[in-house]
Amino acid sequence: MEKTSFLLSMMVAAAFAATASIAQADESASLEIEGETFVTKTKAPAHAENLDEIYSGWVFRADETQTLQTDDFDNPGFVFVDTAMDLYEEVDGTADKACSSCHENVEDFKGLRAAMPRVKDGKVQTMEEIINNCRTEHMGAKAWKWSGTQMSSMVAYIGLQSRGMPVKVAIDGDAKPIWEQGKKLYYSRFGQLDMACSNCHEDNYGNMIRADHLSQGQINGFPTYRLKNAKLNSIHGRFKGCMKNIRAEPFKEGSDEFKALQLYLASRGAGLTVETPSVRN
């Protein structure tokens, strides 16, 4: 067992060392969309331990990928936003209602994405849960799959209303113990590779590992369109992918663990602006 652990540690070290010299983030990069300048670099909040500054994942992307996000016409994530616009008006369920039946103007959701997730009655509430609650309780419709195309599209459409607003989630009061749980998970090691989120996104951001340029793992751009799989990716879907990469058994999407981790990560990005839907590798 000790020999196996040693070999795995050597594999991880080699992955970082052999992939290239350090590729630092371009601190001068500026993201502008529709004439609006976004905050992609700012002073780290006091509770983001071991970081002086925080960076949007956009800063770490190749020039061509960055450019895709600067124009809504070129941003492939807007194909899914268009899908959600149709879904928003589509009558579904036994109540014979659409989203627009109760929420006539989608712009009324402005500010919601910037404050999510939030803690209500001692439990973390995510955008996905708000949407599914509306579907099951008010529309009499079936719940959507957490990371399904319909859900990710709708989360992006609603999130778009907050684009350009600074991320600011509440982490005091009832949220504090859940935030602490998320922090613990962030620094806990999992899987055969015995790695934590912090090993990549805090200790090695800016470095290359294989073909990936490691970011700080900020979630202000989710749902994000990834060129790798040509679809919108949810926050919890990305968490699953990371855990699989370190050969760990992932928690379930929508689990208390992932929701706590989401709250903690959102708080680490306080001050960055919402980029939904962003474009990444």
Domain co-membership, 184 together with 48: yes
Ranges of the chain whose pLDDT falls below 70: 1-28
Domain endpoint, select from 141, 160, 179: 160
Of 225, 216, 222, 224, which Cα lies nearest the Cα of 186?
A: 216
- How many whole angstroms separate alpha carbon 196 and alpha carbon 43? 24
Selected catalytic residue, list 25, 195, 242, 266: 242
Distance from C-alpha of 226 to C-alpha of 254, rounded to nearest angstrom: 21
Which domain covers residue 253, as residue numbers?
2-74+166-280
Task: Find out whether 200 is annotated in a ligand binding site.
Answer: yes
Please indicate if the annotation marks 103 as binding a ligand: yes
Active site residue 33: no
For the entire predicted model, the pTM comes to 0.90
Q: Burial-class residue 112 by CB neighbours within 10 Å (0-12, 13-18, 19+).
A: middle
pLDDT at 272: 98
pLDDT at 211: 73
**Whether the Cβ atoms of residue 232 and residue 153 lie closer than 8 Å to each other:** yes
Res 206: pLDDT: 93
Predicted local distance difference test score (pLDDT) of residue 26 = 57
Predicted pLDDT of residue 103: 97
Q: How far apart are CA 190 and CA 57, in angstroms?
A: 23
The answer on 96 and 46 residing in a single domain is no
For residue 53, what pLDDT is reported? 97
C-alpha–C-alpha distance, residues 166 and 215, integer Å = 19
Q: How far is CA 218 from CA 41, 185, 235, 273, in A?
A: 11, 16, 10, 11
Same domain (yes/no): 55, 194: yes
Residue 42, domain CATH: 1.10.760.10
Last residue of a domain, one of 114, 134, 160: 160
Domain count, the chain: 2
Query: According to the annotation, is 238 in a ligand binding site?
Result: yes
Residue 43 has a pLDDT of 97
Q: Are residues 53 and 184 in the same domain?
A: yes
The answer to whether 242 is annotated as binding is yes
